[in-house]
């Protein structure tokens, strides 16, 4: 028997959702009967995603770059006008450019910080404001990555800048707890999306191996022996967005097939 997450009619904003993890989450919410706003920076990709999702239920699309203050203001304004409120925020981002620490300039750190540090904090404030005003509160789920626990040298910008999300989740959950807003994080391990294919192609090019070889190497590193699916990740997102997790706030949950070693 399918589990009922009780999300029917809930008003949900999922950022960075024209493909991959965000798209999978939007799809899962629609299948639960939620009303959803999707977002991404590329209007054409976003319109295609909306067309594919539309048969599942009520879905709106708002184009916007998560690294821009004006676009974040616009995203929240449009979401409120489309849905009449926001009960659930699922925050996903694009990725900063890959590379090792010594590869990056001041400007690279600046733009990665705008995307991965300033943007989730500012968006959380905008959404929390209206969740508090509504009187019924809400839930926020911030997606980051397993690399914030065990940095990956080849994606240094991501490994360093995303660590803020651990603290953001704890800080917000404590400040907003009394206002009925629960805030949690998810640390995905390797999840099968276009980004994984891209990482495999990059590794193939730089190391002169086949893309499938890189995927096999990764799978060998994962105790459960395989890369996860967006639907497995979405189940965790639905859980933290629903009343099934009613006494959970401030956690960052790894969904990684036991990849992380640290205690």
CB of residue 198 to ligand NAP, shortest distance in Å: 7
Cα(213)–Cα(200) distance, integer angstroms: 8
Taking CB under 6 A as the criterion, the residue among 66, 131, 203, 240 binding ligand NAP is 66
CB of residue 116 to ligand NAP, shortest distance in Å: 8
Q: Report residue 64 as tokens.
A: 């916007």
Q: Is position 10 an interface residue for ligand NAP (rule: CB under 6 A)?
A: no
Q: Which of 225, 201, 230, 200 minimizes the C-alpha distance to 215? A: 200
Please list every residue from 100 through 159 that binds ligand NAP, using CB under 6 A. 143, 145, 158
In contact, 214 and 137? CB cutoff 8 Å: no
Place of tokens 């009613």: 246
CB of 18 or CB of 234, closer to ligand NAP: 18
Q: What letters, b where the CB count within 10 A reaches 16 and e where it falls short, cover 87-109?
A: bbbbbbbbbbeeeeeeebeeeee
CB of residue 256 to ligand NAP, shortest distance in Å: 9
**What letter does residue 117 receive in the DSSP assignment?**
I
Q: Is position 234 an interface residue for ligand NAP (rule: CB under 6 A)?
A: no
CB of residue 55 to ligand NAP, shortest distance in Å: 19
Please list every residue from 35 through 64 that binds ligand NAP, using CB under 6 A. 40-42, 45-46
Q: Report residue 258 as tokens.
A: 């036991």
CB of residue 36 to ligand NAP, shortest distance in Å: 14
Place of tokens 């800048």: 161
39 forms beta bridges with: 62
Q: Is position 184 an interface residue for ligand NAP (rule: CB under 6 A)?
A: no
CB of 97 or CB of 125, closer to ligand NAP: 97
Specify the DSSP element, H or E, that contains 12: strand 11-14
Positions touching ligand NAP (CB under 6 A) are 16-22, 40-42, 45-46, 65-67, 92-95, 143, 145, 158, 188, 190-191, 193-196
């Amino acid at each position: 028997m399918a589990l009922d997450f009780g999300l029917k009619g809930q008003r949900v904003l999922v950022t960075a959702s024209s493909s991959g993890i965000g798209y999978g989450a939007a799809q899962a919410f629609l299948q639960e009967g939620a009303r959803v706003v999707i977002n991404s920076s590329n209007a054409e990709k976003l319109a295609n995603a909306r067309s594919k999702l539309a048969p599942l239920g009520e879905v709106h699309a708002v184009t916007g770059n998560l690294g821009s203050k004006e676009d974040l203001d616009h995203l929240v304004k449009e979401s409120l006008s489309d849905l009449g409120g926001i009960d659930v925020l699922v925050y996903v981002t694009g990725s900063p450019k890959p590379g090792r620490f010594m590869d990056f300039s001041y400007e690279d750190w600046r733009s990665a910080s705008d995307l991965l540090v300033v943007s989730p904090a500012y968006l959380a404030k905008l959404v929390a404001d209206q969740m508090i005003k509504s009187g019924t509160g809400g839930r926020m789920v911030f997606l980051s990555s397993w690399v914030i626990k065990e940095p990956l040298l080849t994606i240094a910008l991501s490994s360093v800048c995303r660590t803020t999300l651990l603290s953001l989740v704890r800080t917000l959950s404590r400040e907003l707890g009394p206002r009925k807003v629960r805030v949690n994080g998810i640390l995905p391990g390797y999840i099968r999306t276009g980004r994984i294919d891209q990482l495999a192609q990059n590794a193939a090019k730089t190391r002169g191996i086949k893309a499938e070889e890189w995927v096999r190497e990764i799978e060998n590193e994962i105790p459960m022996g395989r890369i996860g699916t967006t639907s497995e990740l979405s189940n965790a997102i639905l859980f933290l967005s629903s009343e099934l997790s009613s006494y959970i706030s401030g956690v960052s949950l790894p969904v990684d097939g036991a990849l992380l070693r640290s205690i």
